[in-house]
Every structure is written in structure tokens, then in C-alpha cells.
Amino acid sequence: MSTIRRYDLLRSRLDRFTRTLPGVESGDTGAVHRARVASRRLRELLPVLQIEPAAAHKLGRRLRKLAGRLGGVREVDVLTELVGELRQSSRVPARALKRLTDELGAAREHEKRGRSRKGLSADLRRVLRRLEAVASELEGADRGRARGRGWRWAIEARVAHRASALKSAARDAGAMFVPERLHQVRLAIKKLRYGVELSAESIGLKNTADLRLLRREQELLGRLRDLQVLVERVRRVQVGLTPPDLAAWRELDAVVIALDGQCRRLHARYVKDRVALNSLCDRLGVRASSAAARRAG
């Protein structure tokens, strides 16, 4: 077993989060996305650090709220990129894409006005200071080897539980194209991926075949979800046409048809990959059971 400590993991994830701050404060979209991912990784780690439960819960809640505040502009930027891809394909009416671009531009400005950069920066730094204090406490405790391997066992138990949840979500989704059920599969994949990632890091690994599979499927279903969100935006633009314009409605319908075609192609890829996902879930469950048996022995 590697000598990776709780402090090592927290320190690594905390440093990644800290590095995003200058970009977040300047409004850089890439930095905002990295900050959200870094906050999720910290939230994943907090419950298994064996710190005081109320403190872990409070920090996790603050990180979740910060991620939500960072999320609005990022979503609009992703949708804008999708519209740009449609424009390059030249298979949908240009006037419809212009309407969407204008609507998304207005939405982005609304999100930016609603997010106080100064206030957000202050909240981020406040959470970071608290996490730094937790890291200092863990450094001293781990130096004295006060906790042993219990936190690693907690990680494995979480991975097994999430593997079971993913298998159930995939079974419920079946092979039909039902966007909301596929969204639940995506969320289950994301949770399992973060758990497997933490498990790998706890023994000194960076990238594994399991992580690559989960990352690929998360990205696939994430893109499908983004396309579905854009379809909903198009429908809202259609409903909001003032005065009613039948030609514009039909042009926007052409956008929906193009997006729906992309969604169904992605769904077909997911259906093909379900066997590999089920196999992964079974393997992770067996691994957790074996670890439990070794502890009991």
C-alpha cells in the first residue's frame, strides 16, 4: 500500500482549487470551469477525511453553493459553442442561429450582472482559509499516524455503493431514448467517477482504464445533456416570438431536428457501451466485497 496520506490528497486538491482563483476573478471561462471541478473534488474528499462531521458538512455545503454560483455563465458559454458548431455545418437556417446567438448573449450578460465578482472572490477565499486550517490539522495528525486506513475503507465502500447506483440507473434507463433517465445515468457516472478517482489517488495512481471509461461516458452523456438543454432554449425562443412568425418558427424547428439527430447518435453510442459499464460496476462491487472480507479476517 502506498504511503499517500489524507493530508497529501487534501493538499493536492486544495492547490488545484487555489490556482483557479486569479482566472475566476478576471472572469476567464476556462478558470471558472476548472474551479467548479476542483470544488467537486474537494467535496468528494471531505466526508472521508475523518474530521468533525459538522465541519465537513458545513464546508461541503459552502463548496456546493460556490459551484452553483460559478455555473450559470459556463452553461451559456457551452450552449453558445454548440450554436457555433451548427453554424459551421451550414445545415440549419442562418437566421435561426442568429436569433439563438442573440438570446444566449443576453442570457450571458444577465448571468454576469447577477454574479458579483468581488463577492464571489471573497467567498472563495474564505472557504480556502478554512480548508487550509483543516489541512494543517491533518498534517499533524497524519504525521503521528493517528488514523490508520479507515478513511481508505470508507472510500471503497462509497465506490461500491455508487457502482450499484449506476447499475440501477442504467437498468432504469434501458435502451430507449428518454432524456431525463439518461440524465440520471450521467449523474450516477459522474459520482462514481469522482469516487474511483479518489480511490486511485489514495494509492498513488493518476489514471486507470476504469477512469478512462467513466470519463468518456460522462463526456458523451454530458454533451447529450447540453444538446437537450439547447433544444429547450430553442423551444423557449419559438414560444417567445413576438409577433408570431411562422417562417421563423419553422427555421427554429430545423435547428431542433438537427440537434435531435445528434442526440440520437450519441444515445446509440451509449447503448453500445452499456455492457462495458455494467461489467465495470460488477467488478467494483466484487473488489469492495473482497476488501471487506480481508478486513473481517
Instruction: Say yes or no to pLDDT of 279 above 80.
Output: yes
Instruction: Say yes or no to pLDDT of 58 above 80.
Output: yes
Give percent of the chain above pLDDT 70.
90
* DSSP symbols for 132-201: HHHHHHHHHHHHTT-STTHHHHHHHHHHHHHHHHHHHHHHHHTTS--HHHHHHHHHHHHHHHHHHHHHHH
Per the listing, cell 474528499 goes with 45
pLDDT digits (tens, 9 = 90+) for 256-270: 999 999 999 999 999
Instruction: Say yes or no to pLDDT of 124 above 90.
Output: no
CA distances from 228 to 47, 63, 232, 260 (A): 33, 27, 6, 8
Q: How far apart are CA 204 and CA 220, in angstroms?
A: 27
Sketch the domain layout of the chain as residue ranges. Answer: 149-297
Quick one: pLDDT band at residue 296, thresholds 50, 70, 90?
very low
Q: How far apart are CA 133 and CA 255, in angstroms?
A: 51
Quick one: pLDDT band at residue 146, thresholds 50, 70, 90?
very low
Per-residue model confidence (pLDDT) at position 118: 62
* This prediction's pTM: 0.86
Angle, helices 117-143/6-19, rounded to nearest 10 degrees: 160
Per-residue model confidence (pLDDT) at position 11: 92
Mean predicted confidence (pLDDT) in 280-293: 75
Which one-letter DSSP state was computed for residue 3?
-
* Residues 272, 274, 280, 282, CA torsion sign: negative
